[in-house]
Structure 1
Amino acid sequence: MLPPMNPLACKECATVHAPEAPHNMESLNYKYNFAKANGRWPTWADACSHCSEEIKLLVKGLLSDKGIDYA
C-alpha cells in the first residue's frame, strides 16, 4: 500500500514537477500505476511520452551520459 500523495503532486507519479517535465520514473506510484494500466513496467520513454521533443532529447542525453537506457 502506497502512502497518500502530496495534493500538489502529479497524479501519475506523486512528485511535484512542472506539467511539461517528465514523470518521476523512479516513483513507486508511477511504476505501479503504469504497470496496472499497461501490463508492463514503465521506461523513461514512457515517463517522457507527454513531453516536447526538446525535453525528450535532453532527457535521452542526460540518461545516456549516465549509461541509463531511455527505451
Structure 2
Amino acid sequence: MNPLACKECATVHAPEAPHNMESLNYKYNFAKANGRWPTWADACSHCSEEIKQLVKGLLSDKGIDYA
C-alpha cells in the first residue's frame, strides 16, 4: 500500500477530504467494524460541514443518495 494513502480507505487524499467510499478497502473495513455497508455520510463523517454540504450537492446533482 502507498505509504501516503489513508489507512481507512487506502486512497491518497487530504485529511479533510472524504474517504473514498468506492474503495473496497474502505467498504469492507467499515462493514467489519460497523456491521453494515458505509454511506457517503459515513465517508464524510470526519469532514467539516462545508465539505459535507459540497459533497451532498455534488451527489444530489448526480442522483446519488448521501445517507
CA positional deviation for 1:23: 0.1
TM-score for the superposition, normalised by structure 1: 0.93
- 1:26 Cα offset (Å): 0.1
Q: Superposition RMSD on alpha carbons, in Å?
A: 0.4
Question: What TM-score, normalized to structure 2?
Answer: 0.99
* Structure 1 runs, 4 residues or longer, greater than 6 Å off: none
| CA distance in 1 between partners of 2:4 and 2:32 (Å) | 23
For structure 2, the residue ranges without an aligned partner over 5 or more in a row are none
Displacement of 1:7 in angstroms is: 1.1
Query: Which of 7, 13, 24 pairs up with 1:11?
Result: 7
CA distance in 2, matches of 1:8, 1:52: 22
Q: Percent identity?
A: 99
1:6 CA displacement? 1.1
